[in-house]
Chains A and B, each alone.
Chain A
Amino acid sequence: MAGIVGYGAHLPRHRIKVEEIAKVWGADAPSYKKGLMLREKSVPPPDMDTITLSVEAARRALIRAQTVDPKDIGAIYIGSESHPYAVKPSGTTVAEAIGATPDIHCADFEFACKAGSEAMFVAMSHVDAGHMKYALGIAADTSQGAPSDALEFSAAAGAGAFIMGKENMIAECLFTHSYMTDMPDFWRREHEFYPQHGGRFTGEEAYFATTKGASIALLKKSGMKPEDFKYAVFHQPNGKFPQRVAKELGFTQEQIDPGWLAPRLGNTYSGASPIGLTATLDVSQPGDLIFMCSYGSGAGSDAFVWEVTDRINEVRDLTVRTHKLLDENLTYIDYGTYAKFRHKIKKNY
């Protein structure tokens, strides 16, 4: 099958701590930190959005792809629930910025937190079908969470980009499986600022049932067992869910560690498992198998088995690693600055 020939990530440098949000709303920070297993989250500044995050991640993917001419990219798909426009595509701006226009197909995907893995899946399918030489799948979000809602402690920003191709792969996709049901666990209606969710209902019947449904089916399809994999990446709405689902499926903490970013990054929605994959590729070795399973409310999971090739050693340090973006050069902001950055303050313009 086709696979990844170039990958890249981008994260904002700004962070806000759980304590800073909790003190505004009179919430108990230690219990939120323990319950969500999350210490802080990334915050996009006012001049950063899904399009700008996507462009930077895509440029890094092109650097790691080394010889790919942007004109040979036949499609750009961006999965996000925070496309800057309601009507006007994000993909065309990214295509223009990386020099891939005009002979290209663009589409913006939406599916709660699974939109990014959809973009990867469809991009890869086009290459596999022989429709085009390369296709770019991007997962990016500047997530929304209503003030004082539990989601406000986790809704974060970031992007991961993957150039799919059949030659000079960094990681070949060996198997995929997708699993969907109609699940009203989380949604945002037209013209609403913030999403609504079903509280505890988003757990057992939604995230866990769907992630396990896709993962178990993929393990069966591939004939593989959790111990066959060097690493595993799951959707991470908080630190706790991916850790628990990994354990219940038979994966260990060591397997999820490199891609388990939520405790310090927060929930990057569509970006979550794809950015986790970039961080995992950063530390992987040729021959390693990586298990990946996204989750999007509504609900569905896309699961992938990736096999890392020799090329990883050549390309991993051609640009910045994801953990460096996560750990270094950080600026901590207070709630007032966060409210301003995220346009939570009413103004008459």
Chain B
Amino acid sequence: MAMFSSRNWREYPQRYRMEASRFKKSGKTYFPPRTVDPETGDTKQEMVRLPEIGKLLTYTVIRVAPSMWGDEGPYALGVAEMTDGTRVMAQITDCDVEKVKIGMEVRVEFRRIQSEGSAGVLSYGYKFVPKWF
């Protein structure tokens, strides 16, 4: 339990605010953030916040979910290309799995990601919802 709450806490910048790393030399943005650009070895970077709108590139449907998400199944996990070109993987929520389509526009929303049973820590972060406004 304690291990999870500390790991969760360390990931707040990316999970809560979608903070990514943009490297100086290549101009490339990585999400989740990295300390070293794997292509150039560059460590000089700036923090950028990703846009909230993207387009779904691919997805998969989870029908037999791990116990923490068992009540939510079936649900889709997808990779979207955000409007700045960065790719992000997230759960697609508020959407019937039969209605998930490659190419659909998605919006990032702040949601509860998981609960450690009824007594443990709650973790929050980004999910995709179909963009409708």
Contact = CB atoms under 8 A, between A and B. Distances in A.
Interface of A: 13, 45-49, 51-52, 55-56, 59, 84-85, 93, 96-97, 99, 320, 324, 328-329, 331, 340, 349
Contacts of A45: 93-94
B112 A52 contact: yes
B99 to A, nearest CB: 11
Given A93-B124, A99-B17, A349 B117 contact: yes
A51 B124 CA distance: 9
B16 A47 contact: no
Contacts of A55: 110, 124
A47 B71 contact: no
Interface of B: 12, 16-17, 71-72, 93-94, 109-113, 117-118, 122, 124, 127, 132-133
B113 A320 contact: no
The prevalent SS among residues of B at the interface is mixed
A13 B129 CA distance: 11
A269 B132 CA distance: 27
Nearest to B126: A97
B112 A48 contact: yes
B71 A97 contact: no
B122 A328 contact: no
A49 B110 CA distance: 10
B133 A320 contact: yes
Nearest to A340: B71
A46 B72 contact: yes
Contacts of A51: 112, 122, 124
Nearest to B122: A84
Given A328-B132, A329-B132, A48 B111 contact: yes
A46 B113 contact: no
6 contacts: A45-B93, A46-B112, A47-B127, A49-B122, A52-B112, A56-B110
A52 B94 CA distance: 14
Q: Which of A49, A97, A349 has the most CB of B within 10 A?
A: A97
Given A320-B133, A349-B117, A97 B112 contact: no
Contacts of A93: 16, 124
A97 B16 contact: yes
Contacts of A328: 132-133
A344 B10 CA distance: 33
Given A48-B111, A97-B17, 6 more contacts: A52-B109, A52-B110, A59-B110, A97-B110, A329-B133, A349-B118
Contacts of A329: 132-133
Given A45-B94, A85-B122, A52 B71 contact: no
Q: Which of B12, B72, B110 has the most CB of A within 10 A?
A: B110
A46 B118 CA distance: 13
Contacts of B72: 46-47
Nearest to A59: B110
Given A97-B16, A340-B71, A47 B111 contact: yes
Contacts of A96: 12, 16-17
Contacts of B16: 93, 96-97
A87 to B, nearest CB: 12
Contacts of A320: 133
Given A99-B17, A324-B133, A47 B118 contact: no
A47 B113 contact: yes
Contacts of B117: 349
A52 B124 contact: yes
B94 to A, nearest CB: 6
Q: Which of B12, B16, B17, B118 has the most CB of A within 10 A?
A: B16
Contact of A56 (B94, B109, B118): B109
